[in-house]
Amino acid sequence: MRLPSHLPLFWTIFLLNGVVLVVAVLLLLFSPARVSSDAVPSEILVIGIGLVVMLLTDALLIRWALAPLHRLIARLEDIARLEPTELPEEGSGPVLGIARSVNGLLDRLAEERRTGDARALAAQEAERHRIAQELHDEVGQSLTVVLLGLKQLESQAPAALVPDLAAVRESARAGLDDVRRVARRLRPGVLEDLGLASALAALATDFADHSGASVRRSFAPGLPPLSPEAEVVVYRVAQEALTNAARHADASGVELSLQKVGAHVVLEVRDDGRGFTGLEEGSGLMGMRERAALVRAELAVISRPRRGTTVRLRVPVTEEVPA
Amino acid sequence: MIRILLADDHTLVRRGVRLILEQEPDLTVVAEAADGAEAVERVRDTEVDLVVLDIAMPRMTGLQAAAEIARRRTPPRILMLSMHDNEQYFFGALKAGASGYVLKSVADEDLVGACRAAMRGETFLYPGAESTLVRDYLDRLRRGERVPASVLTAREDQVIKLIAEGRSSREIARELHIAPKTVEGHRANILGKLGMRDRVELTRYAIRAGLIEP
């Protein structure tokens, strides 16, 4: 039996108590039991038993009525401690109301977290971009001037100074290489200058250079354009997947592909490495998921021991509405 | 005398490059530009044999300027100067019509040689791009794909593997107990046999190999 769902908590309890009292009154009126003006011990006993039965019945009924509320509280505690999930919208009256408001609140929190994450990541990318640009345009140029100037000086300097000048010039060159490497790690200029396919191709080449594994690229021609944010997500996920393949998987071959499947652009990074069991949700995977969520893309990681790992990212293509 | 137009948005870099070039008796800088658009204009009003373009410039990037300049009826030879050690930029430069790509971090050593190679009509490969191309060639050969038919001598076969590992000529010479000059000769022969000396051939190869988009 369930109480009507629109009943406020006050009326629920009032009604239950009322039912118990009415039953007691009816029993008193229509049963042979009577109380004389001077209560005799047998009457006191009967009334005492009646009172106990009444109280017990009342307690049981109220407990039954409040049980959904207790279940709700237990679930709320779970939510506070663990991952936020939807509350089941069940139970009656106030419980249902609370469940609905909490769900609304959770939805808003999730939405705010998503936009907050998006803003943080966008700010991070923008900052990296700025630093990389300054490294290139300022530090890099100054070091180039030093490098060329030293070369020029060497041609005019007395022979005794030439080895020292050459050594300084090599340091300037090493500095320039460092600046370039740091700037490149911060922000792939190639993504902006030459597009996603070129940026992924460059990642593949880097990977082959550093890991010694061979990489097969296949990028479908004429892919629909993605938003700049989505391109950065695709790039970073590919980067992370390749880093994992190099660092943990001990792979000897990797396939990197970008295709259009239905209304999605699908990035796939497949390695033939060690693979892993269970869900080793390392920070790398978490980061990839968070980034994917930003552009409403789906990330799937499929891995089996000794069968390699496949990372698949499906990015929805947003239809550009012609203005 | 090779007449050169020099374009870089950084005045001091331009000055440094100019000093390096003008140390050579056969090279002279006849015009300078501070951005891509200005470079295109200078090519219109000045007679030059060679244009040296920085990749990252305001208003019009070096790549855009190169494409614009290469469209002329009798275009000058084009060399790109760049901070980016990335073969995608190199291929981008080839596609735009440049015949060489020099990294700023080795400009002091390579720029003069690259200018002369460009004037001889050869492509100037920067070392990173060369090993990428060669490694890709070997990968395709191993997988049994059809690659440009070429017969390398046993010695060239040794050299190409070391190039694929990214070794410099000096390192290869030490490894094989031959003179660095000989290694350079083998290098040139290998690149020639694989069709990587010629800009058009090289671009075609990179597209076929999936290294760049057509």
The CATH class given to the B128-208 domain equals mainly alpha
CB count within 10 Å of CB A60 equals 12
Q: Hey, which residues 202-241 in chain A have their CB within 8 Å of chain B? A: 202, 205, 208-209, 214, 217-219, 221
- Residue ranges of the domains in chain B? 2-124, 128-208
Interface contact B84-A176, CB threshold 8 A: no
Report the C-alpha gap between B96 and B67 in whole angstroms.
5
CB of B132 within 8 Å of a chain A CB? The answer is yes
- For A92, what's the count of Cα atoms within 13 Å in the CB-facing half-sphere? 16
Interface contact B13-A136, CB threshold 8 A: no
How does pLDDT run along chain A (323 residues), one tens digit per residue?
566 666 777 888 888 888 888 888 888 888 776 767 777 788 788 888 888 988 998 889 888 888 888 888 888 888 777 666 677 776 666 777 888 888 888 889 888 887 888 788 888 888 988 998 898 888 999 999 999 999 999 988 899 999 999 999 999 999 998 998 888 888 777 888 888 888 898 888 888 877 878 888 888 888 888 888 889 899 999 998 888 888 777 788 899 999 998 889 999 999 888 777 655 555 577 778 888 888 888 888 888 777 888 999 999 987 654 44
The CATH class given to the B2-124 domain equals alpha beta
Residues making up chain A, counted from first to last: 323
Query: B155 to chain A, minimum CA–CA distance in Å?
Result: 23
Phi, psi of B27 (to 5 degrees): -115, 135
Interface contact B84-A189, CB threshold 8 A: yes
Report the C-alpha gap between B94 and A224 in whole angstroms.
25
Nearest-by-CA chain A residue for B87? A202
**Of all helices (H) and strands (E), which one includes residue A141?**
helix A141-156
Interface contact B210-A217, CB threshold 8 A: yes
CB of B10 within 8 Å of a chain A CB? The answer is yes
- The CATH number of domain A190-316, selected from 3.40.50.1360, 2.60.40.10, 3.30.70.1710, 3.30.565.10: 3.30.565.10
- Residue ranges of the domains in chain A? 9-83, 118-186, 190-316
